[in-house]
Amino acid sequence: MPVELHVRIEGSDGPDPADGSEQRPFASINAAARVAQPGDTVVVHDGVYREWVDPRYSGLSDSRRITYTAAPGEHPVIKGSEVVTGWSQVDGGAVWTVDVPNSLFGDFNPFAEEVDGDWIVYAEPTTPKKHLGDVYLDGTSFYEVTSRDAVTDPPLRTEVVDDWTSTTDRVRDPAQTQLVWFAEVGPEVTTVWANFAGADPNASLVEINVRRSVFYPREHHVDYITVRGFELAQAATPWAPPTADQPGLIGPNWAKGWVIEDNVIHDAKCSAISIGKEISTGHNFATLRGDKPGYQYQLESVFTAARLGWDREHIGSHLIRRNTIFDCGQNGIVGHLGCVFSTIEDNHIYNIAIKREFYGYEIGGIKLHAAIDVTIRHNRIHDCSLGTWLDWQTQGTRVTRNVYHDNNRDLFVEVSHGPYVVDHNVFASKVSLESFAQGGAYVNNLVCGTVWLQPVVERPTPYHTPHSTQVAGYAAILGGDDRLIGNVFLGGDASLAYARESRWDAKAHHGTVGYDGHPSSMEEYRVLIADPTRGDHERFADVPQPVYIRDNVYLTGAEPYEAETGAVVLDGDASVRVVTEGDEVHLETTLPEGFAEATVATVSGTDLPPVRFVDADFDDPDGRPVLLDTDLVGEPKDEGQAYPAGALRGLKAGSQRTRVW
């Protein structure tokens, strides 16, 4: 019979050993994790638990899972850090130092481990690398500097430029950038120097991260685990590219059926929640071996994973919901291969990669590769370097009813063939959409910033049989093959979104004008490729793929695709603002009078032509045509009935204020 096991930081205070009962609770979560069986519930009471929880046993199914939960009304915290005391002041100033015995770290000292691996970018080969260690003063993380002198005189950090898009990015409160540290690792001790900006570390809570993870099985296939209601923080997670092991502060480590819900998760050095790749399919080989590009190793990892049991029966199908995730250096949620068939919903993700201590091409509030049949629904994602990045094999994926605002960039889809659906979202940042992909359907979105379209012919990528991990083929990304219906686009100056170089804003547009030159139907495309004097392959080479664009609305100078049917271009004042008031988020819109005439019938998969390379329809995982019948705030739409363009079924001309979170 399932049992309830209790954990309390003080443990049993009686003469008998702890047995997990309320009267004799375990003193650590790991003690319960060593005995919890399918169907059991581990109830964790108030306290700060400084441990790496490593579940030993799996649940057996969704109905016989092992659940780890906070006790009702209580707030247990699991930290990857330890308290450090005994700081000595240096020359009476703001700098203090302490010697930490290396025995505190065991076989993993984050102050000796570099932030390094495939796809990481440092300015020069000789640039000193950052480390996984971190220092926290009353919960606020410090910045690492590269010398003891820089601890005394910290460099001023106010504004940073993103080298990937050349856009201006925000960093954390500049006053906090004076909190810096430097460390030297010796044979017996690690010496840390830190600038506390006038605070007394011996009168405050000072912690350093010690453990790589806080809730993460060391073994694979520990399935059907629920983690609910915790605060999880301060882990020394490593750089997590798609060509390496991807450990997070919390995650299943190559398993099936986890539920991670109602947690507060913060201060992962790199990634907070990982539903990603494991080590046997490759681990930073491009960096370690230097013989092939990372692209080739990533391609190989897909085929290696398939040989090792990467399929629906063994991997993925995770549920990540109602978590608050913030202050992480690389990702809020990361995954390659292991994220398949998962749902990410109702999460609040912010302040991801805005410290800018290190940089690379694997950064985002949500960063997924091979997001096959993944649903990203009703999340609020803001103040991130990049809101969501879907990279490789975005197929059967749906991004719906999310609110993106104040990001450096909102949504980036890269080297994917589709089909994927992006519907009823608000993209309120200056850079709204970037598609280095094809085969997408963008329906009923509110797009306030730029749209950038880019073919990628030098990196052919795999595609799959529908709703499966089985590889069906691979092809280059030619661009196009997209469907855009019922969206609202706002205009503006693209050069304001891309701050430094004209080569970026020349590719960015407001509206769908970037699709000019593509044929508007498959019939037109077939005519263009029907030249009998050219060979089988050559006759396709210079012909853009068709696009299917209709019934979009263009405001304040946004421009439509040249062959669009039903385009509504309106003059007059228009604006969209996302306004935050405490925990509430409101959408404030001002739209011109003609907007009342801009309507579009509810869209389903039967309205969306199949994608060309994959030859797949836009359907749900159960094989039925997808029905895009729910707006941003959860209001239903009747099939076949016409509603206003954009993300809200009640969007209207004039001024309007709608709570969206």
* Cα–Cα nearest to 272, from 231, 223, 242: 231
Average pLDDT on 353-362 reads 91
Residues 163 and 116 in one domain: yes
* Structural domain ending residue among the three candidates 209, 224, 246: 209
Q: Are residues 147 and 90 in the same domain?
A: yes
| Of 291, 293, 222, 279, nearest in space to 247 by CA | 279
Would 186 be classed as within a structural domain? yes
Is the pLDDT confidence value at 161 over 50? no
Stretch 84-110: mean pLDDT, rounded?
Answer: 96
* Percent with pLDDT over 90 in the chain: 88
Residue that finishes a domain, picked among 174, 209, 244: 209
Strand partners, 360: 120
Q: What pLDDT is recorded for position 430?
A: 95
What's the rounded Cα separation, in Å, for the pair 50 and 68?
16
Distance CA 333, CA 271 (A): 7
Please indicate, yes or no, whether residues 199 and 88 belong to a single structural domain of this protein. Answer: yes
pLDDT at 607: 97
Structural domain that includes position 60: 1-74
**Is there a domain that residue 631 lies in?**
yes
Domain count, the chain: 3
Looking at the predicted structure, is the pLDDT value of residue 357 above 80? yes
Tell me: do 89 and 61 sit in the same domain.
no
Q: Which residue has the higher pLDDT, 176 or 657?
A: 657
Q: Kindly report whether the peptide bond that precedes residue 419 is cis, defined as omega within 30 degrees of 0.
A: yes
Are residue 5 and residue 112 in the same domain, yes or no? no
* pLDDT (tens digit per residue) in 298-342: 999 999 999 999 999 999 999 999 999 999 999 999 999 999 999
With b for 16 or more beta-carbon neighbours within 10 A and e for fewer, the 246-275 pattern comes to bbbbbbbbbbbbbbbbbbbbbbbbbbbbbb
In a domain, 292, yes or no: no
The CA distance from 278 to 283, in Å, is 8
What are the structure tokens assigned to 390, written together? 């879907």
d(C-alpha 13, C-alpha 611), whole Å: 65
SS (H, E, C) 442-491: EECCEECCEEEECCEEEEEEEEECCCCCCEEEEEEECCCCCEEECCEEEC
Q: What is the pTM of this model?
A: 0.96
**pLDDT number for residue 160:** 45
Domain at 92, CATH number: 2.60.40.1180
Residues 191 and 99 both lie in one domain: yes
Residues 581 and 638 in one domain: yes
Long-range (24+ apart) CB contacts under 8 A made by 310-313 are 310/337, 310/340, 310/469, 311/468, 311/469, 311/470, 312/340, 312/341, 312/468, 312/469, 313/256
Residue 622 burial (CB count, 10 A): 6
Residue 25 lies in a domain: yes
User: What pLDDT, on the 0 to 100 scale, is given for residue 628?
Assistant: 98
Judgement on whether residues 69 and 86 belong to the same structural domain of the protein: no
Q: Average pLDDT, stretch 616-620?
A: 97
Write down the pLDDT at residue 499: 55
pLDDT at 249 over 90: yes
Q: Which of 209, 236, 262 is the last residue of a domain?
A: 209
Contact 90, 201 (CB under 8 A): no
Please tell me what DSSP assigns to residue 609: P
Report how far residue 227's alpha carbon sits from residue 230's, in angstroms, rounded to the nearest whole number.
8
**Going edge to edge, which strands form the sheet with 143-144?**
88-89, 95-101, 189-195, 180-185, 143-144
Please report whether residue 95 resides in a domain: yes
pLDDT of residue 173: 55
CATH number, domain of 10, equals 3.30.1910
Task: Identify whether 429 is part of a domain.
Answer: no
Whether 412 maps to a domain, the answer reads no
Check residues 151 and 496 and name the one with the higher pLDDT: 151
Could you report the per-residue pLDDT of 498-515, keeping only the tens digit for each? 654 445 556 899 999 999
What six digits make up the tokens of 657? 């204020």
Whether 167 is in a domain gets the answer yes
Same domain for 192 and 98: yes
Q: Is the pLDDT reported for residue 13 higher than 60? A: no
Per residue in 269-305, pLDDT (tens digit) is 999 999 999 999 999 999 999 999 999 999 999 999 9
- Phi, psi for residue 266 in degrees, rounded to 5: -155, 165
Amino acid at 272: A
Three-class SS string for 179-215?
CEEEEEECCCEEEEEEECCCCCHHHCCEEEECCCCCE
* 53 and 93 in a common domain: no
Q: Is the pLDDT at 356 greater than 50, yes or no?
A: yes
Section 256-262 average pLDDT: 98
One domain, residues 5 and 95: no
Same-domain pairing of 116 and 201: yes
Report pLDDT digits (tens) over 16-35: 689 999 999 999 999 999 99
Structure tokens at 264: 């507060």
CB 520 within 8 A of CB 547: yes
pLDDT, position 494: 77
CA atoms within 13 A on the CB side of 487: 33
Write out the DSSP string of 271-300: EEEE----GGG-SSHHHHH-SS-HHHHHHH
